[in-house]
A and B are shown apart, each in its own frame.
Chain A
Amino acid sequence: MVKSPCINVCRMHAELGVCRGCYRTLEEIGDWSTLPDTEKRRVAQEAEARRAKIGPLEIV
């Protein structure tokens, strides 16, 4: 089982279109439960890459 990247921040950044906590898009969060493990791993990696690129987001 691939662990959910959710860290319980769960607020979207409107302009960037990613969650301020886990850096997933709304689509990636909404579809998470349906994804096979390979896709979950890909989404988690892409979210981490976004975190590295965007840097810290203010948690409002």
Chain B
Amino acid sequence: MSGAPAPVRLPAGMRLLERGWLSSNNIVLHEGDQATVVDSGYVKHAAQTVALVGRAAEGRCVTRLVNTHCHSDHVGGNAALQRAFACTILIPDGEADNVARWDETALDLAGLGQRNERFMHDGTLRAGDTLRMGGLDWLALAAPGHDMDSLVYYAPEARLLISADALWEDGFGVLFPEFGGEPGLQTARETLDMIAKLDLETVIPGHGPAFGEPQRALQRAYDRLEAFALDRGKLVRNALRVMVSFHLMDVGSAELPGIADLLERSPFATAASELYRLPMPAIAERLVGDLAGAGVLRIAGGRLYSV
């Protein structure tokens, strides 16, 4: 219950490191004298991630890092964690070629103005694979939608799901595939259907606190998908809002021409032009005004700031 005074309890061998929005959450799972960490946050925060993960391992060796998907806010600390702990890195099989070649376009990096540090993975995971982490057996499940290759991890005995950006307490991650000609909306809905069929008590999302009553979050996510399906402008505006606020969180502040440039180079440029029917600088101005009005960013002395 979101209004409850105490957070939902996780099994004894799990530590949830709740981060902000630029970095994903990290989950540290104890197993004997070893520990596994799920997702590593954004590159800019890597030093703090290493310190937090080391502390959460509580004297254990961090031997393994598992990623849900390979977006910059989930793998940005991979290289630093591997340097610090010499851990093995496992990524979803569908991302293996992109990571091995470090294809910045395929990794959704190039067009979003995001940074990362290159890493080498040691192995891959596919839907159906099982993992022992934190004294529990976890099953990898395919969760396309936000990212076509994303995996989520499900522990049936604890009725627990590590949901990455497929399901948050209020929503889900940007439907990137929709901007590359892939069926993001449809697959996201199928992923929600898959999650709805799980025997589930608690969800640990990629961002935000762990939450119970997954049916409520599922309903909100279904409602948002429905709103996106009925009005594509909503889907586009959501993507633009997330990209601009992520960028401002990363760089701290920017000027309007910088945002216009970001938009122009982004995978959302065509969709934004079709939606606003204005030249790009005017689109940026309109968007930034809307976002300031919505309290998503703040304008001071001609510069735009993260709030």
Chain A residues proximal to chain B, CB less than 8 Å: 1, 4, 6-8, 10-12, 19, 26-27, 29-30, 32-38, 59
Asked whether A36 lies within 8 Å of B23 as measured between CB atoms, the reply is no
Asked whether B55 lies within 8 Å of A26 as measured between CB atoms, the reply is yes
Contact A27-B45, Cβ < 8 Å, known A33-B16, A38-B5: no
> Of A19, A27, A37, which is in contact with the most chain B CB atoms at under 10 Å from its CB?
A37
- CB neighbours (8 Å) of A36 from chain B are 5-7
Count of B residues near A, CB < 8 Å? 28
Q: Residue A11 contacts which of B16, B21, B48 (CB distance < 8 angstroms)?
A: B48
- CB neighbours (8 Å) of A7 from chain B are 20, 306
Asked whether B306 lies within 8 Å of A12 as measured between CB atoms, the reply is no
Asked whether B45 lies within 8 Å of A10 as measured between CB atoms, the reply is yes
Contact A8-B48, Cβ < 8 Å, known A1-B3, A37-B5, A37-B6: no
A-B contact pairs, 10 of them (CB 8 A): A8-B23, A11-B45, A12-B48, A26-B52, A26-B55, A32-B18, A33-B209, A34-B7, A37-B5, A37-B6
Q: Which residue of A lies closest to B15 (CB)?
A: A30
Q: Is B287 close to A, CB under 8 A?
A: no
CB distance from B265 to the nearest CB of A (A): 22
CB distance from A19 to the nearest CB of B (A): 7
CB distance from A48 to the nearest CB of B (A): 17
Asked whether A10 lies within 8 Å of B17 as measured between CB atoms, the reply is no
CB distance from B6 to the nearest CB of A (A): 4
Instruction: A36 to B6: give the CA distance in the assembly, Å.
Output: 4
Asked whether A8 lies within 8 Å of B249 as measured between CB atoms, the reply is yes
Contact pattern, B 59-74, Cβ under 8 Å of A = 1, otherwise 0:
0000000000000000
Instruction: A30 to B50: give the CA distance in the assembly, Å.
Output: 11
Q: Is B189 close to A, CB under 8 A?
A: no
Q: For chain B residues 288-307, which have a beta carbon within 8 Å of chain A?
A: 306
Q: Is B196 close to A, CB under 8 A?
A: no
Q: Is B2 close to A, CB under 8 A?
A: yes
Q: Is B47 close to A, CB under 8 A?
A: yes
Instruction: A19 to B21: give the CA distance in the assembly, Å.
Output: 16
Q: For chain B residues 139-183, which have a beta carbon within 8 Å of chain A?
A: none
> Of B20, B21, B56, B249, which is in contact with the most chain A CB atoms at under 10 Å from its CB?
B20
Q: Residue A59 contacts which of B15, B52, B210, B252 (CB distance < 8 angstroms)?
A: B252
- CB neighbours (8 Å) of B125 from chain A are none
- CB neighbours (8 Å) of B306 from chain A are 7-8
Q: Which residue of A lies closest to B209 (CB)?
A: A33
Q: Which residue of B lies closest to A6 (CB)?
A: B20
Given A10-B48, A12-B51, 8 more A-B residue pairs with CB atoms under 8 Å apart are A8-B22, A8-B249, A10-B19, A10-B44, A19-B48, A26-B48, A30-B52, A36-B7
- CB neighbours (8 Å) of A30 from chain B are 15, 17, 52, 55-56
